[in-house]
Amino acid sequence: MSNEIIKLHIPRWKELPNVDLYLDQVVTLVNETLSSFLSNTSSEEGTQILTKNMINNYVKNKIIEAPIKKKYNKNHLAKFFVICVLKEVYKINDIKLLIGLALESAPIEIAYDNFCKLFEKALDCVFEKTDFIDNYSTNDRKYLLKSVLLSCAYAIYTKKEISEN
């Protein structure tokens, strides 16, 4: 078993680009940020976590809003990061529902930053073999988010350990 601890930083809302990005730029940003810890998906476009085809399918299936003048904004980017993490474990329709639940209780910038912070904490706890203290049991939505993110962190840990053996 590996002793390597994954340290991850997903860009927070204020760290996302303030300019809208074209499709290629979105793919590059997401893949460069997440490739160090997420498993890759093989496709005709190479080995990537997010591809142009995936983005087009997410828009077509109304998981993500259509780009504006072929450009994607912070709302899009935040959702792409969330989708890429959650698809390690969950089906896309479940991800759509989970995003909807999160956005019912907070504006996207707050929900996204909370997602990033809790996911990084979940990864740290899983890889460092420490407890993820449950301070949220009185709030069902936050408890659900914690459970979802822990399941993703455990899936990532398991895949890393299996690939190293």
Q: What is the mean pLDDT of residues 153-161?
A: 88
- Per-residue pLDDT, averaged over 72-94, amounts to 96
Cβ 72 vs Cβ 23: under 8 Å: yes
Report the percentage of the chain scoring pLDDT > 70. 87
pLDDT of residue 93: 93
Minimum mean pLDDT range among 16-25, 94-103, 105-114, 125-134: 125-134
Backbone angles phi, psi at 63, to 5 degrees: -80, -35
Judge whether residue 139 has pLDDT over 80. Answer: no
Domain boundaries, the chain: 13-164
Please state the pTM of the whole predicted model. Answer: 0.87
